[in-house]
Chains A and B, each alone.
Chain A
Amino acid sequence: MAQTLLMTKAMPLGDMVFIIVAFLLLMVILKKVAYGPLTQVLDQRADKINKDLDDAQQKSKDAASLVEQRQKELSESKNQASQMIETAKKSAQAQSDSLIQAANTQVAGMRQSAQEDAVQMKNDAMNTAKKDVADLSVTIASKLIQKELSADDQRALIDAYLAELGEQ
């Protein structure tokens, strides 16, 4: 139907040429005005997105390795710390042991000398007491003997005793 419509219109070739030329011109204008800048910007955007994605991937990889490193360092320092505590404990134990040892020795020594002193003092006291008892018995004996004597004698005795006391 349109075929016949076209034929009856006597084929205005000029219109066809005009349309095609105008269309080509429109293509040129659009390329300059819209298509060129747009495709450029779209390409730039695609590049940027790709680059950003790559960057992000790289960064997350870096971060993961950093985390691993930190983890390793952390566990290492934990080990170190527990080791240090262990050594400190050990040395403290050793020190306290030696201190207790020394104290024990000292105490034992002190006890021994105290015992010795006590024995000594006891001996001394015994000796002194023996001597005193002897003296006393002598004194008592002499007193008992002197009691039989006269008052003058007693007076002389008392004087002598007093003199003896005064000498002392």
Chain B
Amino acid sequence: MDEPTSTFSFLGLTFTWTTVLSTLLAMSVVVLLAVFLTRKVSIRPTRGQNVIEYVLDFVRGILGDQLPSNLARQFGLYSFTLFLFLVVSNEMGLLLQVKTASDVTLIKSPTADPLIAFSLAIMSIMLANATGIKTLGLGGYLKNMFLKPYAALFPLNFVEQVTNFLTLALRLFGNIFAGELMLNLLASMAFSLHGFGWIIALPLEMAWQAFSLLIGGIQAYVFVMLTAVFTAQLSGEE
């Protein structure tokens, strides 16, 4: 993370160009996809609608496995948005990475940035905790979180809550970051060996891209599923 970055200040806060541009690009892609696939929504689905309905069904399936139906309904929009954003974000860096001449990365996978992964994890964990408080009341929520199944397990439970948060963020960031690092290494290898490196690097790069596509999808799924799992745990549904 000692890459050079370019930042700007706005309202007293510091923003990183990489984060802002990559996130905005990913979100624009998500919005465009959503608009494109839902141009003509009808009871008898057409091709585009089928695709996005499949995604929605998939997300609802994840939620339905973990949460009672009323919570699953409440989390529908959040998880749907999260899943689409994560899929697009995870795969974006495989196709597009933009660097300036001074080696400042402008666009890459947003989720390859630990800060973005942590922000998303914070959002998910906060939502899960808020749902827990809403469902169980503050006392019940604290008791459920720290004193189950025995009060003596409080230290373990406390650590578990912290690690839940850390692993949620780090799993996402680690997978995507490692994938892109590997891609960059293979890309730089293509230009080495007196210009013949690409003969080895090209098939490797293709294989790794395919693998990263898979990983990106799986990580999006895992993130959404873990959000649902934590929510279920914190609202006493296990």
Q: Do A and B bind each other?
A: yes
Cα separation A77 to B110 with both chains bound (whole Å): 82
Number of interface residues of B (CB under 8 A): 50
User: Chain B's nearest CB lies how many Å from the CB of A79?
Assistant: 51
The answer to whether A27 touches B120 (Cβ under 8 A) is no
Q: Give the A interface residue count (CB, 8 A).
A: 34
Q: In the assembly, what is the distance between CA of A31 and CA of B52, in Å?
A: 13
Contact mask for chain B residues 1-23; partner A; CB cutoff 8 A; 1 contact, 0 none: 11000010110011110011001
Bound-state Cα–Cα, A3 to B173, Å: 12
B189 interface residue (CB < 8 Å to A): no
A38 and B27 in contact, given A9-B115, A15-B16, A45-B43 (Cβ under 8 angstroms): no
User: Using a CB-CB cutoff of 8 Å, which residues 104-143 of chain B contact chain A?
Assistant: 110, 114-116, 118-120, 122-123
Map CB proximity to B onto A108-143 as digits: 1 under 8 Å, 0 otherwise: 000000000000000000000000000000000000
Give the contacting residue for B31; candidates A5, A16, A30, A48; CB below 8 A: A30
Main SS at interface, chain B? helix
Interface segment among B79-87, B94-102, B152-160: the answer is B79-87
A164 to B99, CA, bound (A): 175
Once the chains bind, are A15 and B34 in contact (CB under 8 Å)? no
Contact of B38 among A2, A8, A38, A48 (CB under 8 A): A38
- Nearest A-chain residue to B38, judged by Cβ: A34
Please name all residues of chain B whose beta carbon is closer than 8 Å to the beta carbon of A13 when the two chains form the complex.
13-14
Residues of B within 8 A of A29 (CB): 31, 34
Say whether chain A's binding surface is mostly helix, strand, loop, or mixed.
helix
CB-CB nearest in chain B for A25: B27
- B23 x A22 contact (CB < 8 A): yes
Contact with B along A1-39 (1 / 0, CB 8 A): 011011011001111111110110111011101110111
Quote the shortest CB–CB distance from B209 to chain A (angstroms): 24
By the criterion CB–CB under 8 Å, are B122 and A35 in contact?
no
Asked if B24 is at the interface of the complex by the 8 Å CB criterion, the answer is yes
Listed A/B pairs (26) with beta-carbon separation below 8 Å: A2-B174, A6-B114, A6-B115, A9-B114, A12-B15, A12-B16, A14-B13, A15-B14, A15-B15, A15-B16, A15-B116, A15-B119, A17-B13, A18-B19, A19-B119, A22-B23, A23-B81, A30-B31, A30-B84, A31-B77, A34-B80, A35-B56, A35-B76, A38-B38, A45-B43, A48-B43
> Which residues of B are at the interface with A, using a C-beta cutoff of 8 A?
1-2, 7, 9-10, 13-16, 19-20, 23-24, 27, 30-31, 34-35, 37-38, 41-43, 45, 49, 52-53, 56, 76-78, 80-82, 84-85, 110, 114-116, 118-120, 122-123, 166, 169-170, 173-174
